[in-house]
Structure 1
Amino acid sequence: MSDGSDEPAWRRRYPVRPFVAASVAVVRDGRVLLAARGQAPMRGVYTLPGGQVEVGETLAEAALRELHEEVGVVAEIVAGLSPLEVIGRDGDGAVLHHFVIHPHAARWRSGEPTTGPEALDLRWVTPEEAHDLPTTEGLHGVIAQALAAVGDGA
């Protein structure tokens, strides 16, 4: 998931407010697109494409923009899903980072995913296959919600 800005990641450490991000679970033939993060933190861990919401952008617009920028895929949003909160603390208990991530369910429309600086590896996976990968916290629940929202016609 990209940060949606040109600022270095260290500038988002010890925030004075949470950062708002959006992600997208793209469904194609009953499988969901996962990307292995290309940047720290959690480099190599699988998650959904997504990133920080820009000023004036809706959550859904941010999710679709990040999807296209990161992996070259175009999709159609079907539903917003339950938000996730990622709060990390340092050894003293101070908030090191705080993100509120709004995932979306979407149907694949076009484009074959390609790797790049933000995605080391890309996979279309079933929920069972996702359990065999290192993933971000809460991802399995988001995958289940996305598949239920998109239905069998994806």
Structure 2
Amino acid sequence: MTRDRFYPTRPFLAASVAVFRDGRVLLAARGKPPGEGLFSLPGGQVETGETLGEAALRELHEEVGVKAKLIGLLSPVELIEREPDGRVKHHVVIAPHAVRWVSGEPRTGPEAREIRWVTQSDIADLPMTPGLAGILDLAFRLEQQDACR
């Protein structure tokens, strides 16, 4: 998150992706605040003129070098961090997506310092960003429904 995102005058819109491959989902430990060191989904800011899905797939490729195809949009997540005096330090609305891996082996970088392919049962033992467990539950259900088609 760059300096201009601190103490915003409006919420920022972002997109993220739960990438599925062989029954596992790709998680990345954040390399930058907020949530540095916590596992999360790859993603980032939606650019003007992009759909949420386009942004999610672009960010996935930029962040970890993976290409995927969309399965579907999940429930949005709103992250608001306040200072003790009530001022809003961060406000991001994230549109998470479930996607299926197509190509590329994930790589670490400045935004993803560690990468893991995990099963649904592995999730409980990981330090994660707030709300991620619920998003992953939805993502696993959507992926399983898609696999049955």
Q: TM class, shorter-chain normalised?
A: over 0.9
Structure 2 equivalent of residue 6 of structure 1? none
User: For this pair of structures, how many residues does the alignment match?
Assistant: 147
1:143 and 2:144 aligned: no
Mapped partners of 1:56, 1:63: distance in 2: 13
1:76 and 2:69 aligned: yes
Consecutive unaligned residues of structure 2, counting only runs of 5 or more, are none
Q: Give the aligned residue type for 2:69.
A: E
More helix per residue: 2
Consecutive unaligned residues of structure 1, counting only runs of 5 or more, are 4-8
Q: Give the aligned residue type for 1:114.
A: R
Cα shift at 1:127:
2.0
Report sequence identity in percent. Answer: 61
Structure 2 equivalent of residue 112 of structure 1? 105
Q: Secondary structure at the match of 2:86?
A: coil
Structure 1 equivalent of residue 21 of structure 2? 28
Runs of 4+ in 1 over 2 A off after TM superposition: none
Mapped partners of 1:149, 1:42: distance in 2: 26
Cα shift at 1:128:
1.9
Q: Give the aligned residue type for 1:35.
A: A
Provide the TM-score with structure 1 as the length reference.
0.91
Cα shift at 1:151:
1.4
Select 2:34's aligned residue among 37, 41, 65.
41
Mapped partners of 2:35, 2:137: distance in 1: 22
Provide the TM-score with structure 2 as the length reference.
0.94
